[in-house]
Amino acid sequence: MEDKFVMLYVTTANVSEAQSIARTLLVHKLIACANILPRVQSLYRMDGVITEDEEAIMLVKTLESKLEEVENRITELHSYTVPCILQISTIRGNDAYINWIHSEITGDTPKPLNLSP
């Protein structure tokens, strides 16, 4: 079975937390890349109270085989009791980029990957 590309959407308390989590994931070769979007406004209900906070968003690129380990590591490092870690369905991507992600995580140069389910 092919090791499919996975993208995760993760919110963090701030840019520095996002950078710290991303660096740890990169050092351990769990991800190939993380894009950090600073200073987004988030509104949410928690314990019956509507709250507005400033957060950062990470878009994390990894492989399906690393997904559970990535989620566990993010949860360990995250300041939130219930961190937002959502898998974004990816229908398609250019082979060169998908192969780059694969080689950065595994060290292998794979054949082109099929992103279709």
Residues 10-44 have pLDDT tens digits of 999 999 999 999 999 999 999 999 999 999 999 99
14 touches 97 (CB < 8 A): no
Say whether pLDDT at 65 is over 60: yes
Packing angle of the helix pair 15-27, 67-77 (nearest 10 deg): 140
Say whether pLDDT at 61 is over 70: yes
Q: Looking at the structure, give the CATH architecture of the domain made up of residues 5-106.
A: 2-Layer Sandwich (3.30)
Q: How many residues does the chain have?
A: 117
pLDDT band at 67 (very low <50, low <70, confident <90, very high): very high
| Span 74-117, pLDDT tens digits | 999 999 999 999 999 888 888 888 888 889 998 876 555 455 44
Domain spans, the chain: 5-106
Residue percentage of the chain with pLDDT more than 70: 91
